[in-house]
Amino acid sequence: MSDSFKAKSTLSVGSKNYTFFDLTKLEGQYKVSRLPYSYKVLLENLLRHEDGVNTTKETIAALASADLKKLPAKDIDFTPARVILQDFTGVPCVVDLAAMRDAIKTLGGDAAKVNPLCPVELVIDHSVMIDHYGSKAALDLNAKVEFERNAERYTFLRWGQEALKNFKAVPPDTGIVHQVNIEYLARVVFEKDGLLYPDSCFGTDSHTTMVNGIGVLGWGVGGIEAEAAMLGQPSSMLMPEVIGVRVTGKLAEGATATDLVLTVTEMLRKRGVVEKFVEFFGPAIANLSASDRNTIANMGPEYGATCGIFPIDEETLNYLRLTGRGEDDIAKVKAYAQAQGMWWTPDAPEAEYTDVLHLDLGSIKPSLAGPKRPQDRVLLSDVKANYKKAFEAEQKARPSKGPATVTDNGKTFELKDGAVMIAAITSCTNTSNPSVLIGAGLLAKKARALGLSSQPWVKTSLAPGSLAVTEYLKKAGLIEDLEAMGFYVTAYGCTTCIGNSGPLNEPLGKAIQENTLSVSAVLSGNRNFEGRVHQDVRMNYLASPPLVVAYAIAGSTDLDLTSEPIGKGKDGQDVYLKDIWPSNAEIQETVAKAVTADLFKASYADVLKGDARWQSIKVAKSDSYPWDDKSTYIQNPPYFKGMTMTPPGIQPIAGARVLAVLGDSITTDHISPAGDIKKDGPAGKYLMEHGVQRADFNSFGSRRGNHEIMMRGTFANTRIKNAMTPGVEGGVSKYIGKDGKAGDVESIYDVAMKHQADGTPLVVLAGKEYGTGSSRDWAAKGTILLGVKAVISESFERIHRANLVGMGVLPLNFVDGQNAGSLGLDGSEVFDFDGLKAGATELSVKATKADGSVVSFKAKVRINTPKEWDYYAHGGVLQYMLRQMAA
């Protein structure tokens, strides 16, 4: 490695000496002290990886001298210190590594060469579902069902742990990946062979940004980009704009960290921060605990930013100490941050930013977000009106026949529109934050004392993000109060927020469906897109854990909790939310007493060991995975079929048909298979044909290791709307043959297979913000497996665009002001693309209609860097890497 700036230096911490790349060595020439914290991390990364080829002296100088107000369109490489996976997205990563081990042998290479080159840690947290709730037995019962459903996947992951070097798995029922990351895995400052450098990570889940709260630069990537990082490939990106958020003031009485993050999400979505870094600074970040910072950082994907980062300061060290890190490591963090100019104090000079927004903590008010998007904040006082407006809009398409009289669990009640069917304290966003969880417990305690309880139709659940959470709730004496409101610990993992809410009791589901009721969910999560939480629940609101408990008691969103009674007390009196809401002082006093370092140390003492179920899994040691053709969970994917050492190069796209014409804000939830597998859909039919009973379908997420299932679930979301099939919701399209005749409405999968049989390439047309949401690699993998060669949208979300390139799909944007509608495209056309070659920035597109008329237009090529062009020419990043390793 080169060191053109002579930056390699020595740092003494205690009695030990370390080496590091000293940013202050560049100060005289470039004044790096003015750079944002995140740019200092990027700059150190370039200094450390300077090789004269991918990262040059000129690249480093360009970043060090960058004018944040007027950035050059220059790409830089970033190599994360580590990669973190969750099991839904992690399983296909390990499947691909196993497939590459087979493929490299076919190409004449050594299977043992295929290993992660940096630390890779997988946390199994996405597979548990809330099948059981409302009892102390729920936790064990859900874990039992989880192991039964996922035995093949867990056996496969155990094989990976045995066969692959640099790979660790945190077993099921331990915690949520991002919470385990901040509480245990994050180093903040990395040490390798005596060299110190900033901790950084890529994660195969968009909420990897949570670790930004403690000063670790990391963000969510698709599994494809994560695999590249695992195998030593730097990630290319354009120099990012950095939006600074200057924080002032202090949270007012009654305002929570959740209210704060929902306000931040709304504010930053309005500003527009997609593909940008966001950095929080200003005197009042000292008023935010590390847990509050983590909450804000967690929802980076919801406000659209690549990251939402805070600097390292005393509060960072307090958090490391609280979560059981050693004093030697904490001393290293402080000494390194101070030496690099990365240490923040209230009187620190402010950095330069591309733009600066202002956030007054004192202006934050109790809020929710919904009913369909996390950026749609609504004041608590306006929830009733918000619900009514959404309800009235729905009545035009599907009028309600409610209310319905229902008997469930021995209780008879009236189920009305607006009923809260699911109230879930879930998701790392909030279950990592002791103040809101203690707040929920104190609210439950006050409600219990007054004789309140949850309504009988509400499915309640508490899914802590780590074992430590349960321990401090016990220590605070609040577990029994939460249980009295129905909030028993049901799982340690991502549950309701990702659609693992489990089934509603049959009488409830039947009543909703038969009476077309518009019902609600309230969850302390970060995602509330249509069809995500539960297919029977039309409206979903994000809320703080205390408000989740409050809505479980109220039982309806057709209610103003700021002015109407939440329920009747034991003496028949009206009880209002203000009567049971804990004060900020009560919360902080309880947090100080109950949340202690010993709980975290004990919870993580044997974190990799797992319970008896995990330990009982036996795997044979072998370099290659023994694929089972009969498995419906794990299959060898076809990406390397027929592959040779010679890359195919950039192939023309001609005679393409349209698979779907989609609107704005199509999320990866719409594209990628997620949630339950429907019996009558292509994936359900496949499982039935392979002898799997309906009760054993499990979720799409659990079957991500089987491409046959996943490609059948791509674009199969029940709420997706394809303009080629007006008036019909769901993943459907129309096959138009070479004769130009349109067939009947069929599943998108079936239509795609007919086109594949014809040898016809496919195109998807879309609107603004295509691919928002989770960093799901299957949104790109499923797209290519269906035969889609190009996607033309008005704009892309960052991760999905990169994933499309990584799978060999061409991402294109309509030029400003144009879209499918303005060009008169309806999906019946045949598309030809002219000018597709390496480095092209624009193509000419010719769309020929059935009557022979032609619509010609320009499209912007969104392959952004030379490295991405290399990937595209090889047919994808996996093929590119495999050829490098085999050579």
Segment 836-885, tens digit of pLDDT? 999 999 999 999 999 999 999 999 999 988 888 999 999 999 999 899 88
Helix or strand run (H / E) with residue 104: helix 87-106
What is residue 73's predicted lDDT score, i.e. its pLDDT? 87
For residues 528 and 372, what is the distance between their CA atoms, to the nearest angstrom? 5
**Bond before 403 cis per omega within 30 degrees:** yes
CB 431 within 8 A of CB 464: yes
Q: What is the mean pLDDT of residues 592-617?
A: 93
CB 25 within 8 A of CB 8: no
DSSP code of 67?
A: -
- pLDDT tops 90 at residue 288: yes
The one-letter code for the residue type at 552 is A
Token digits for 635? 């299959």
Same fold, 379-595 and 638-886: no
Of 492, 513, 368, 502, nearest in space to 422 by CA: 502
What is residue 784's predicted lDDT score, i.e. its pLDDT? 97
What is residue 695's predicted lDDT score, i.e. its pLDDT? 86
For residues 790 and 808, what is the distance between their CA atoms, to the nearest angstrom? 9
CATH class of 638-886: alpha beta
Kindly tell me the burial class for residue 411, based on how many C-beta atoms sit within 10 Å of its own C-beta (0-12, 13-18, 19 or more): exposed
Length of the chain: 887
pLDDT digits (tens, 9 = 90+) for 419-468: 999 999 998 899 999 999 999 999 999 999 999 999 999 999 999 999 99
For residues 636 and 629, what is the distance between their CA atoms, to the nearest angstrom? 9
Match 């960093």 to its residue by tokens.
Answer: 775
- pLDDT tops 70 at residue 564: yes
CB 307 within 8 A of CB 200: no
- pLDDT tops 80 at residue 774: no
Token digits for 84? 């973190």
For residues 176 and 587, what is the distance between their CA atoms, to the nearest angstrom? 24
Of 221, 215, 373, 381, nearest in space to 285 by CA: 215
Helix or strand run (H / E) with residue 811: strand 810-814
- pLDDT tops 80 at residue 341: yes
CB 364 within 8 A of CB 252: yes
CB 855 within 8 A of CB 847: yes
Q: What are phi and psi of 175, to 5 degrees?
A: 165, 180
- pLDDT tops 90 at residue 283: yes
Token digits for 613? 């179920």
Of 49, 48, 42, 78, nearest in space to 63 by CA: 42
CA–chain centroid gap for 335, Å, is 33
Any idea where the domains of the chain sit in the sequence?
A: 8-66, 379-595, 638-886
For residues 153 and 87, what is the distance between their CA atoms, to the nearest angstrom? 9
- Strands 367-369, 377-379: pairing kind: antiparallel
The one-letter code for the residue type at 156 is F
> Helix (H) and strand (E) counts for the chain?
32, 34
What is residue 53's predicted lDDT score, i.e. its pLDDT? 81
Q: What is the CATH number of domain 379-595?
A: 3.30.499.10
Of 243, 244, 208, 250, nearest in space to 225 by CA: 208
Give me the chain's average pLDDT, please. 95
pLDDT digits (tens, 9 = 90+) for 681-728: 999 999 999 999 998 888 888 899 999 999 999 999 988 999 999 999
How many other CB atoms are found less than 10 A from the CB of residue 151? 13
What is residue 815's predicted lDDT score, i.e. its pLDDT? 96
What is residue 233's predicted lDDT score, i.e. its pLDDT? 84
Residue 627's alpha-carbon distances to 103, 155, 785, 857, in angstroms, are 13, 12, 20, 47
- pLDDT tops 70 at residue 249: yes
Match 């050829």 to its residue by tokens.
Answer: 883
